[in-house]
Structure 1
């Protein structure tokens, strides 16, 4: 399944309206905020239709998944939006992650904790806000506003350390940007390592964290809690390093920019578990047999040539200014 889907569901007392555009969407929030009510409405409508007193508008089927027989039920569900409440322990298992890896469905998951086995985006974590008798989904974490708020307050000269989630091409690129070893660039060796690096940092040091936002969702909550009172930590969470290269304009043509503007219209959920995987595959395919040939494991030195490097840095907007003179 690909594309975005607007869902309207409600009864005479309550109504929800929201749009889903990725294979995994997370609903967060405290008790009594309407998350479970939403899932129950979907379940009741599926079981009883209009007799349930619930109205549901969606261009694709909406289902719920629960209970110990989930693994037998799931294979029969295709090209649907599947809602799962947080009281299902299977959500936190590797078995569930493997079961939905090549699924044609989209999943809306209610959880207050990070799901380590699922690669979901920091931009697809929502809470539910109420407005009169209607309710809608509201983003809890918004990369765009967070970056601009912090970058405007921190001078380039103050950056002491850069923590890069990546261990391969992305890490090589940002390491090369550091002039004479300043700032210090270290690899977190995976998204779970970011928290550990921040936990062990010198609180007096200003730190920039660069991670792939497309798959960092399971870590964002504990990272945000850790740095809540720190005004010297910057989070930069683009979709991925490959997305930055594509965004930079190094590859000619309007087709790439159209894909970046509306990725959901191109990314098949049964082929790509996260958007990060799609952007990597797209970049490799678009640069194959060219001087820009890309490999995730080892950075092509061409990307460190002045013209290519400058375009990628410029694609980072204000974050790029931290490296612009290196």
Structure 2
């Protein structure tokens, strides 16, 4: 399943409206914010249609996924947007993660918990808010493509860079850091970012670089930490490969077209997260060229001064000075 879908669910009293464009969307929020009501209305429409008193408008079928038979149901449907309430404890299981990885459906999961088995995007975490009878979704972590902070000036000039992993992205930022005579270290994985930051020198301006496409489950505690310590800034592009593709050093018209609306190209059954798609896209587009890319080790061509400068200048939010 691919594409972006507008969903409208309404009755005489309430009106919900939002867009779904990735395989996993999370709706968070406390009690009495309308989450359960939304699920009930979708269930009523699926069971009773127009006689339910609910209108549901979407270009693809919408229904709830729940109960002991969830796995059987899931394996026998495709092309649906499936809404799941947090009362269904299976959403926290590895089995559920394994099943939806192979599924040709989109999932909207309503939960107050962080689902560590699922690679969901920081951009697809929403809360419900109301304006009179109109219920809508809002992004909880707005502008998370870039460094998010309520008070700091953008762009930020880091004194320390903490990179999520130890692959090509880390090699690139380490090279930049060495040139600027600042610190750069790898956290060794997104689950270790929080503990690494807690042990950091809070007198320095720290910039965290991580894949926004799959860091959703870690976002709550990272965001709270960045609010507690004003020196911690979060730079969360889709992925390092996305940064390279967006920089324009790989000159191909199709790339810019894909980046304008990735949801039209990324098949949810094939790619569990957008980060994986951008990695494959970059590998494919550079195969047989001097820019040949592999995730495990950075091709030195990306560290040539002209290319490095072009990549750095495409990154909104961080100010890095290069001696070119």
Q: Which bin holds the TM-score, normalised by the shorter protein?
A: over 0.9
Match of 2:275 in 1: 276
- Residue 227 of structure 2 aligns to a residue whose secondary structure is coil
Match of 1:285 in 2: 284
Match of 1:123 in 2: 123
- Residue 137 of structure 1 aligns to a residue whose secondary structure is strand
Matches within 5 A, 1:195-206: 195-206=194-205
Distance 2:311 2:204 in 1: 26
Question: Runs of 5+ in structure 1 lacking a partner?
Answer: none
Distance 1:280 1:49 in 2: 42
Distance 1:253 1:155 in 2: 31
Structure 1's 252 and 80: CA in aligned 2 closer, same or farther, altered over 3 A?
same
Structure 1's 155 and 268: CA in aligned 2 closer, same or farther, altered over 3 A?
closer
Distance 1:222 1:95 in 2: 25
Deviation digits for residues 129-181 of structure 1, max 9, x if unmatched? 1011111111111215754766626763xx33211002100011100111368
Is 1:43 aligned to residue 34 of structure 2? no
CA contact (8 A) 1:238 1:244 kept: yes
Equivalent residues, number: 323
Matches within 5 A, 1:89-104: 89-104=89-104
Match of 1:322 in 2: 320
**Over the residues paired in the alignment, what is the CA RMSD in angstroms?**
1.7
Match of 1:152 in 2: 153
Q: CA deviation at 1:323?
A: 4.2
Is 1:113 aligned to residue 113 of structure 2? yes
Deviation digits for residues 258-312 of structure 1, max 9, x if unmatched? 1101101111111111110110000000000100000001100100001111111
Q: CA deviation at 1:114?
A: 1.2
CA contact (8 A) 1:178 1:323 kept: no
TM-score, scaled to structure 2: 0.95
Match of 1:31 in 2: 31
- Residue 135 of structure 2 aligns to a residue whose secondary structure is strand
Deviation digits for residues 174-212 of structure 1, max 9, x if unmatched? 001113683211111111111111122222222110000
Q: CA deviation at 1:224?
A: 1.2
Match of 2:17 in 1: 17
Distance 1:247 1:170 in 2: 15
CA contact (8 A) 2:179 2:322 kept: no
Match of 2:133 in 1: 133
Deviation digits for residues 15-74 of structure 1, max 9, x if unmatched? 111111111000011111011111111111101111111111111001111122212221
Query: Where has structure 1 moved over 4 Å in runs of 4 or more?
Result: 148-151
Match of 2:308 in 1: 309
Match of 1:55 in 2: 55
Match of 1:75 in 2: 75
Structure 1's 141 and 201: CA in aligned 2 closer, same or farther, altered over 3 A?
same
Structure 1's 292 and 145: CA in aligned 2 closer, same or farther, altered over 3 A?
closer
CA contact (8 A) 2:65 2:84 kept: yes
Structure 1's 151 and 260: CA in aligned 2 closer, same or farther, altered over 3 A?
farther
Q: CA deviation at 1:257?
A: 0.7
Task: Return 142-151 or 197-206, whichever deviates more.
Answer: 142-151
CA contact (8 A) 2:147 2:317 kept: no
Distance 1:107 1:29 in 2: 17
Distance 2:108 2:173 in 1: 34
